[in-house]
Amino acid sequence: MRGREGGRPASARARGREKRPARPPTPTLSFPSHETGHYFAIDIGGTNFRVVYVSLDDSPGGVAAVEMRDTPIPDAAYICPAAGLFDMMARGLLDFGRDIGVLGEGEQPPTVGFCFSFPCDQTALDAGVLLKLTKRFQNEGAVGTDPVEQLRAAFARAGEPAAKVVALLNDSVGTLAGGRYTDPAVELGVILGTGTNAAYVETATSVPKLDAAAANSLRGGRVVVNTEWGGFADDSLPTLDADRELDAATPHAGEQLMEKQMSGMYLGEVARRLLVSLASSGVLFSGRVPKRLAEPGCVTTAHVARCDGDRSLALAATAAVLADALGATTTSYLDRRLVRRVCHLVALRSARLFATAVAALLRQIGRDASSGPPVAAAVDGGVFEHYALYRGYATAALVELLGRSAASRVRLNRVRDASSRGAAFLAAAADHAAQHAGAAPAPARELVAV
Ligand code: BGC
């Protein structure tokens, strides 16, 4: 896939790469395999902020206990200065740990994996620089700083300066690690929720960012690449007026253009804009634009899914959505059919982009053939989880792209909470590596760099 990453044209990126000095060997760690102990994770990047506690033992599968707490991110946290956002996370983890009785008087300070789902230039396992914020986040003072340092400072402000933040990772990487923990065929970790992204396992020597010495020094010779595919854009990616208008109205205009056609934060809004234009041109609602339809955000991805899945004779579910979301109580059957069609096309486009991007990654790693062992993508996120018809659309598109036989070897594993659990597992692996520095490496499933 050609394209633009981080809003920079491909040519600029290539120029940047030429100028960039060779990097020191990228930090490495094993995919978690045999670690034991108690670990926490903080997972932020969508609509909820999550804290996780994982206790690992050496039983088969290794997970003795997992506890989680989800908190909806308050509107103010999306726009407050960065310190406020990080304070919310540190305090949230400490409160949670105390509430479940594993932090506080006489307990060890927490060891934390930090799943921070934004584009970062990762410079060490526990360090990176935030390149940009995406989705609804607009926190001043975040871009250009190290999210791990910000979180450590927040723990100190919250009275827990000894908290150890040992791993920084993207949710796509966490999903890959978490998904692979239970299914070794997993080569891709994909997020399709508020935002979208994928990470995959790549041959180290194929990564231009790693110089040859760094690539060859990696045990197993493989690295995890966070593609940030939501940021791809290309002239061959057709856009509608609705896409361009939606983009212009977002806090990060000109960025994350594929994400804006694919992910849960935007599907409802694309549909709404298409409905406005059909109503204004007289094709829908007899040309009367329902008042509420003019309000951005009134059509959600859940509405799109309900209308698209409406198989009732009179399209009753679509009627209910139009009444609830738009206050449009007297719609004709033809109106409802058209609304359902719009919703279907918006979701189908997303699923076909999803399949195209998955197929491109499989091709990149040579796993798109009709023979060989099966390969799996671990897929997490609300759209994949809750949109009943989505998987069917994506699978059909994969068959179209790869052929029936190759597509039948590709499993799309729906996984839940993998990024949060993955963050805790990677914290365990990082902590284990730090404690055994210099010792012979434990047998590991894979060596990765992030
Ligand atoms: C971010 C990615 C993230 C994805 C899913 C995108 O907006 O750029 O880093 O993985 O959302 O959360």
Structure tokens, 33: 């395999």
- Does residue 313 fall inside a structural domain? yes
pLDDT of residue 407: 97
Confidence of residue 30 (pLDDT cuts 50, 70, 90): low
pLDDT at residue 444 tops 60: no
Give the ligand 1 atom nearest the CA of 171: 10
Q: Are residues 268 and 352 in the same domain?
A: yes
Structure tokens belonging to residue 339: 């609304």
Q: Residue 3: is its pLDDT beyond 50?
A: no
The number of C-alpha atoms within 13 Å of 192 and in the hemisphere containing its C-beta is 31
Distance CA 94, CA 43 (A): 14
Mean pLDDT over 383-401 rounds to 97
Nearest in space to 221 (alpha carbons), one of 230, 232, 212, 229: 212
State the distance from the centre of ligand 1 to the C-alpha of 226, rounded, in angstroms: 10
Strand partners, 223: 202
Pick from 146, 169, 192: which residue ends a domain?
A: 169
Whole-number pLDDT of residue 112: 96
d(CA 190, ligand 1 centre) in Å: 10
Same domain, 266 and 343: yes
Residue of the nearest CA to atom 1 in ligand 1? 118
Q: How far is the CA of 319 from the centre of ligand 1 (A)?
A: 34
Domain match, 239 and 139 both: no
Residue 125 has a pLDDT of: 87
Report yes or no on 450 lying in a domain.
Answer: no
CA of 134 to the centre of ligand 1 (A): 7
Question: Per the structure, how many domains does the chain have?
Answer: 2
Does residue 256 sit in the same domain as residue 402?
A: yes
Measured CA to CA in angstroms, residue 355 lies from 88, 248, 398, 441 at distances of: 36, 26, 5, 37
- Contacts of 85 by beta carbon, 8 Å cutoff, 6+ apart: 44, 77, 137, 139, 142
Q: What pLDDT score does 449 carry?
A: 37
Q: At what angle do helices 333-364 and 316-326 cross, to 10 degrees?
A: 90
Please check whether residues 131 and 188 belong to one and the same domain.
no
Query: Does residue 205 sit in the same domain as residue 151?
Result: no
Cβ-contact 95, 155 below 8 angstroms: no
Query: Who contacts 340 (Cβ-Cβ below 8 Å, separation ≥6)?
Result: 307, 308, 310, 315, 318
Mean pLDDT computed over 165-187: 90
Nearest CA to ligand 1 atom 8: 118
- Residue 181 — pLDDT band, cuts 50, 70, 90? confident
Q: Which domain holds residue 215?
A: 171-416
- The residue among 153, 169, 185 that closes a domain is 169
Q: Give per-residue pLDDT as tens, 316-362.
A: 999 999 999 999 998 999 999 999 999 999 999 999 999 999 999 99
| CA of 188 relative to ligand 1 center, distance in Å | 15
Q: Distance of CA 215 to CAs 207, 237, 366, 377, Å?
A: 8, 33, 19, 24
Angle at 139 between CA 133 and CA 143, to 5 degrees: 50
Q: What pLDDT score was predicted for residue 9?
A: 37
pTM of the entire predicted model: 0.88
pLDDT band at 47 (very low <50, low <70, confident <90, very high): very high
In this structure, the answer to whether residues 165 and 182 fall within a common structural domain is no
For residue 1, being part of any structural domain is answered with: no
Between the CA of 337 and the centroid of ligand 1 the distance, in Å, is 34
Tell me the CATH number at 109: 3.30.420.40
What pLDDT, on the 0 to 100 scale, is given for residue 8?
Answer: 36
Strands (E), 241-380: 375-380
Q: Do residues 253 and 283 share a domain?
A: yes
Q: Which of 169, 201, 230 is the last residue of a domain?
A: 169
- CA–CA distance from 206 to each of 6, 220, 229, 373 (Å)? 21, 14, 18, 22
pLDDT value of position 448? 39
pLDDT band at 281 (very low <50, low <70, confident <90, very high): very high
CATH number reported for the structural domain that contains residue 313 in this entry: 3.40.367.20
Q: 200 near 224, Cβ under 8 Å?
A: yes
339: in domain: yes
Indicate whether 294 pLDDT > 90. yes
Encoded tokens for 345: 């096309």
**pLDDT-derived band at 212, boundaries 50, 70, 90:** confident
Is residue 440 domain-resident?
no
Q: Would 115 be classed as within a structural domain? A: yes
Share of the chain above pLDDT 70, in %: 86
Which pLDDT score, from 0 to 100, does residue 6 have?
37
Question: Which residues line ligand 1 at a C-beta cut-off of 6 Å?
Answer: 45-46, 117-119, 134-135, 170-172, 191, 195-197, 228, 230, 256, 259
Gyration radius from the chain CA atoms: 23
Question: Which atom in ligand 1 lies closest to the alpha carbon of residue 135?
Answer: 7
Q: Do 251 and 354 belong together in one domain? A: yes
Residue 442 forms part of a structural domain: no
Whole-number pLDDT of residue 32: 52
Greatest mean pLDDT range, 47-61, 142-156, 360-374:
142-156
Q: Are residues 386 and 396 both part of a single domain?
A: yes
* Range with lowest mean pLDDT among 118-122, 200-204, 315-319, 420-424: 420-424
Domain identity same for 270 and 308: yes
Q: Give domain status of residue 444, yes or no.
A: no
**Ligand 1: which of 228, 247, 255, 383 to mutate, most ligand atoms within 8 Å of CB?**
228
Beta strands 111-116 and 37-44, pairing class: parallel
Q: For residue range 79-134, list pLDDT tens digits in order.
A: 999 999 999 999 999 999 999 999 998 899 999 999 999 999 988 889 999 999 99
Please indicate, yes or no, whether residues 131 and 216 belong to a single structural domain of this protein: no
- Output the pLDDT for position 160: 96
Nearest CA to ligand 1 atom 3: 117
